């Protein structure tokens, strides 16, 4: 039995979305148990033999500063859900709440793994091969050293091996060109570390990749700092929204375009499904001593259910243990990288 602690109050919609998603998730996962964390009055009508209500008296809002979320709201649904993981009552926590608050609380409550300086957020982008490209970091760390990016690559490799069943996923380093001479000193030093990791069998380094490779599916994992990753995420979301708007407008001009839209509906539906970001929802917070997954704040019931499923798969396939094994195997390389960084 896999137990998930769900922050039912998080996100733009709260229990309206999360409870519906939880009900559908339980139907499709007969060996899952949910700890539904939130305000008692908001959850009291939800009943299921494999769901337990866990009371919390506070809610972290999207506008709450980190200090308020971390220091003042000590009985928030977000924090209580993460504490279920810390206390061994749940295998993984899931929240659609404030990203900064979630990372701060998770890091404070669970602490980081040995050998990890900074946790990272790993999300997915749909690609042209019909699958998804995993990318990290996506916003947790604005400035990263080569050592941090190496840690991200190792953790991302463990994540993809668990969720995609690919034991030797390819890793690309996001750069302004594929050539080794491209990029700043930080990127060049990172590439050297990743090549060393490949030689020692710690990961499968493809080389430098460019922004369009994310969507081509050139590699399974793209590594970058959180500033670049978050810009790429928001830019792609904006582009997808713009294209969707253009299509709707184009097929609504007159009676002829509406008829064309009806004829093209099957193809458009297939296209929509392929690029539907909801089906890739659920970002893992990697590098912590417990599993935490972040859902998009605006997620609907389908998207939140996908996040629950990804969290379930990670726990079921023992992601935490796999990350620990990867880090242990790469410990000599990580130690050498840390020593070189200290000297520099």
Question: What does the pLDDT profile of the chain (344 residues) look like in tens digits?
Answer: 999 999 999 888 889 999 999 999 999 999 999 999 999 999 988 999 999 999 999 999 888 888 888 889 899 999 999 999 999 999 999 999 888 899 999 999 999 988 788 899 998 888 888 888 999 988 888 888 899 999 999 999 988 988 877 888 999 999 998 888 888 888 999 999 999 989 988 899 999 999 999 999 999 999 999 999 989 888 888 887 788 788 888 888 888 888 888 887 787 777 666 666 777 788 999 999 999 999 988 888 999 999 999 999 999 989 888 888 888 888 777 777 777 666 65
The pLDDT assigned to 84 comes to 96
User: What is the architecture of the domain spanning 123-277+320-344?
Assistant: 3-Layer(aba) Sandwich (3.40)
Q: Is-contact 124 132, C-beta < 8 A?
A: yes
Residues with Cβ < 8 Å from 43, sequence gap 6 or more?
A: 8, 15, 19, 36, 53
Q: Residue 31's Cα: distance from chain center in Å?
A: 23
Question: Tell me, what's the pLDDT at 342?
Answer: 64
Enumerate the β-bridge partners of residue 133: 125
Q: How far is CA 289 from CA 63, 79, 114, 271, 279, in A?
A: 27, 15, 9, 39, 27
Tokens read off for 342: 């200290």
pLDDT of residue 275: 64
- Go through the chain and tell me how many residues it has: 344
Question: How far is Cα 157 from Cα 201, in angstroms, rounded to an integer?
Answer: 12
β-bridge pairing 283-286 and 291-294? antiparallel
Whole-structure pTM value: 0.87
Are 7 and 96 within 8 A, CB to CB? yes
Question: Domain coordinates of the chain in residue numbers?
Answer: 123-277+320-344
Quickly list H helices, 200-300: 213-216, 226-250, 255-275
Q: What does the DSSP assignment read for 24-54? A: HHHHH-TTEEEEEEE-HHHHTT---TTEEEE
């Amino acid at each position: 039995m896999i137990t998930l602690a769900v922050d039912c109050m998080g996100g733009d919609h709260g229990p309206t979305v999360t409870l519906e998603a939880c009900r559908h998730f339980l139907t499709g996962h007969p060996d899952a148990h949910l700890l539904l964390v939130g305000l008692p009055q908001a959850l009291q009508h939800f009943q299921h033999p494999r769901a337990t209500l866990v009371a919390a008296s506070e809610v972290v809002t999207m506008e709450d500063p980190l200090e308020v979320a971390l220091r003042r709201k000590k009985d928030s649904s977000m924090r209580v859900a993460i504490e279920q993981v810390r206390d061994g009552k749940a295998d993984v926590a899931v929240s659609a709440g404030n990203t900064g608050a979630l990372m701060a609380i998770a890091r404070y409550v669970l602490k980081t793994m040995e050998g990890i300086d900074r946790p990272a957020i790993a999300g997915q982008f749909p690609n042209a091969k019909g699958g998804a490209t995993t990318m990290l970091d996506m916003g947790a760390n604005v400035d990263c050293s080569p050592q941090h990016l190496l840690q991200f690559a190792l953790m991302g490799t463990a994540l993809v091996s668990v969720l995609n069943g690919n034991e030797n996923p390819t890793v690309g380093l996001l750069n302004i060109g594929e050539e080794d001479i491209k990029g700043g000193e930080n990127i060049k030093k990172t590439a050297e570390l990743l090549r060393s990791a490949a030689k020692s069998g710690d990961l499968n380094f493809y080389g430098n990749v460019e922004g369009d490779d994310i969507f081509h599916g050139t590699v399974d994992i793209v590594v970058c700092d959180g500033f670049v990753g978050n810009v790429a995420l928001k830019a792609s979301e904006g582009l997808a929204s713009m294209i969707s708007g253009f299509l709707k407008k184009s097929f609504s001009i007159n009676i002829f375009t509406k008829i064309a839209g009806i004829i093209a509906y099957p193809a458009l539906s297939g296209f929509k499904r392929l690029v539907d970001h909801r089906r890739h929802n659920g970002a893992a917070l990697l590098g912590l001593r417990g599993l935490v997954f972040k859902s998009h704040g605006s997620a609907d019931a389908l998207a939140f259910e996908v996040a629950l499923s990804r969290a379930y798969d990670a726990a079921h396939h023992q992601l935490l243990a796999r990350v620990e094994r990867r880090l242990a195997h790469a410990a000599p390389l990580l130690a050498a990288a840390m020593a070189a960084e200290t000297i520099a």
